[in-house]
Structure 1
Amino acid sequence: MASGVKTRLEADRKIRRGLALGKYAPFHRGHQLVIETALAEMDEVVVLIYDAPDVTDIPLPVRARWLRELYPALQVIEAWEGPTQVGYTDDIMRAHERYIIDTLGISGITHFYSSEPYGDHISRALGAVDRQVDPTRIKVPISASRIRPHPFRYRDYLDPLVYRDLITKVAVLGAPSTGKTTLCERLAQQFHTLWMPEYGREYWAQHQINRRLSAEQLVDIAEGHLAREEALLLQADHYLFTDTNALTTAQFARHYHGAIPPQLAALADQAATRYDLTLVCAADIPYEDTWDRSGDMQRRAFQQQIIADLKQREIPFTLLQGTVEARAAQVAEILRHFRKYRNPPQPKENVVA
């Protein structure tokens, strides 16, 4: 075939443009099957993702980010003012159709992808093929409503990118010998989940020379700690309690070397916004004077520096005091009322220092 004829035929061929929609609360393997099928069959794929505050606390931008990062070829449209009612009455079906076609102006769709009965009326309204993908849930036997109450139980149906965002990340900070490790272990047992040990202690024991580490080694600690924490997020259930983070490592760099290396400063900045809750163990328990520590006076000074850094960064925190039992009870009360993405950070006026 002559190249000119081939070019005209290609130009005349109608672009195959697929559309899928949903709340994706959370986005699971069944949703992925629908989208991956569309990507394999279509020239272009549009995904409409609805705001759904009545169904999930996970903000729309977070759910949209999952789609964009997992499938960069998608055109993702965030539907902030879409209909919230679901069902198959004429009024409900027409409301959804008008929103898609009239309000959002979506057109040129040749195939509508779903695994739900609404595929029938939406595809007819669009003048598109009703492309059903695994409607009987044989290939992927799961639904978002089953996952929402028990994400850990169904984590195999969730991409790691999604699952990590469902875990409440709790940072437990404080100077050396303030009970962080003991508390994290206790909380992990109490909430049937995992905790992240302070990687710096392990690294220090292996690499210290005359009880000191270089500034570059402190960067290694922060990077190694973060990598291990990311791995544990995928195994945790609801909560991950983290003993220390890069904020503290940066304070060590400032104390021992007079400056914070740029890479460590960047990791500390990342840590400042990474955690859902920040807890500080008070220096109100007896000091354990082991050979790897610098004395109770240094503990108290370092504690003041940690708290000052949190205040300077405007990171809300709660100071935990008393016995490990009293501290664990205080954390349990905080978590009883806390919901990731729903609760604001602890109000600054309630911070104790």
Structure 2
Amino acid sequence: MRRGLVLGKFMPIHSGHINLIEFATTKCDEVMVWVCVSNKETMTADLRFKWVKEIFKNHPKITPILFEYDEALFPNTSESSTSVSEIWSEAIKKHLPKIDIIISSEKYGDYVAEYLEIEHIHYPLPRQISATEIRQNPYKNWGFVPEVVKPYYFRKICILGTESTGKSTLTKKLAEVFKTEYVSEAGRDIVENSNTCNAHDLKDIAQTHANLILQKGKKLDRILFIDTDINITKSYSKFLFNQELYVEDWIEEANQCELYIYLDNDAPFIQDGTRLSEPDRNRLDGFHKAQLKRAGVDYHLIQGDWNERFEKVYQLVLNWFNINEIE
């Protein structure tokens, strides 16, 4: 039986790693996938090991093995090194005896094979992506991210504000620019006019909106922009009826977002026939902000005209993700 070894950090595992491991199965009877995690890396060992196991759970030839190590004992290097390869070869000999072949796309494979007196099979296909590139901008490189990894990088961004502040328009425009999905405000479909809303409507809105978030979220399409959240619905309940709105835990959980953006009420008021009066709209703004404070929601306040709002939010999203582009 020919037993092969593929080792890596898999931080995260990507399509290139998967192709390499699958290539290894064509050369070996059994492939040990060594998931190497140092004590200084923030992406956890459990998470990376879970990804590898999930991806290859139905492959009889592949056995994932977790190796957690101290960088003081097992140094990292971005370049293949004979001295570092010798240290790692000793670790392989200790923890993974009876390895016949190492499969890699790097020069270190030659060094390890020489130290262990085994065969090195070089993966012949050119590298299309690296884990570093994915960490730097997973959204630009989304096509290389496996389905099991996507939830780790998937983010929900919520656009908040009182009536007539441009939430709906901005949410749609952001989704168009970032080429992703958005969730519209359920309240506009359920209640035609804010002045005719009743307490039962708010419960219906809360449940419908949460279901829409869950439905769109299943696509894991990089970023999900959401127009309004449960805090705004709760604020309406307090504003219109002086009642607390209590919802089920799953609704609260569905509404959890990573970034909250609040559009201030300094934008011109536009009455489209479905909204509160301008004075009530401005009073509602205070209720919204009070509810967000009670809920402990930190948000970025955006002011300015319509164009300024888009430019500010667009740049905010890029900066928040620490990226320069999405495509």
Q: Distance in 2 between matches of 1:339 and 1:245?
A: 21
The answer to whether the 8 Å contact 1:60/1:78 transfers is no
Q: Distance in 1 between matches of 2:154 and 2:305?
A: 27
Q: 1:220 aligns with which of 208, 214, 217?
A: 208
Q: Distance in 2 between matches of 1:75 and 1:253?
A: 53
Q: 1:325 aligns with which of 297, 307, 311?
A: 307
Cα displacement (A) at 1:269: 3.7
SS at match of 2:51: helix
Cα displacement (A) at 1:218: 2.8
Name stretches of at least 5 consecutive residues in structure 2 with no aligned partner: 58-62
The residue that corresponds to 1:204 in the other structure is 190
The residue that corresponds to 1:308 in the other structure is 290
Taking only the aligned residue pairs, the percentage that are identical comes to 20
Q: Cα gap change, 1:45/1:269 in structure 2, threshold over 3 Å: closer, same or farther? A: same
SS at match of 2:226: strand
Size of the aligned set, in residue pairs, is: 306
The correspondence of residues 83-122 of structure 1 with structure 2, limited to 5 A, is 83-98=75-90, 100-101=91-92, 106-108=95-97, 110=99, 114-117=103-106, 118-122=108-112
Please tell me whether residue 66 in structure 1 is matched to residue 58 in structure 2: no
Q: Distance in 2 between matches of 1:179 and 1:48?
A: 47
The residue that corresponds to 2:247 in the other structure is 261
Superposed CA offset, 1:326-346 (max 9, x none): 2233334434543459xxxxx
TM-score under structure 2 normalisation?
0.70
How large is the RMSD of aligned CA atoms in angstroms? 4.4
Cα displacement (A) at 1:32: 1.8
Cα displacement (A) at 1:112: 5.6
Q: Distance in 1 between matches of 2:86 and 2:312?
A: 50
Cα displacement (A) at 1:173: 1.5
The correspondence of residues 132-281 of structure 1 with structure 2, limited to 5 A, is 132=121, 135-137=123-125, 142-144=128-130, 148=134, 155-163=142-150, 165-166=152-153, 169-188=156-175, 191-194=177-180, 196-201=182-187, 203-204=189-190, 211=197, 213=201, 215=203, 218-231=206-219, 233-234=220-221, 240-249=224-233, 251=235, 258-262=244-248, 265-269=249-253, 271-272=255-256, 274-275=257-258, 277-281=259-263
SS at match of 1:266: helix
Q: Distance in 1 between matches of 2:254 and 2:210?
A: 11
Superposed CA offset, 1:233-261 (max 9, x none): 42x5xx55332234445555777774323
SS at match of 2:95: coil
TM-score under structure 1 normalisation?
0.65
Superposed CA offset, 1:67-121 (max 9, x none): 35444674444556352213333223224335x459xx62345356533243344
Cα displacement (A) at 1:219: 1.7
Q: Distance in 1 between matches of 2:156 and 2:235?
A: 21
Q: Cα gap change, 1:187/1:19 in structure 2, threshold over 3 Å: closer, same or farther? A: same
Q: Distance in 1 between matches of 2:99 and 2:115?
A: 11
Cα displacement (A) at 1:283: 1.9
The residue that corresponds to 1:283 in the other structure is 265
The answer to whether the 8 Å contact 2:163/2:275 transfers is yes
Name stretches of at least 5 consecutive residues in structure 1 with no aligned partner: 1-13, 342-353
SS at match of 2:157: strand
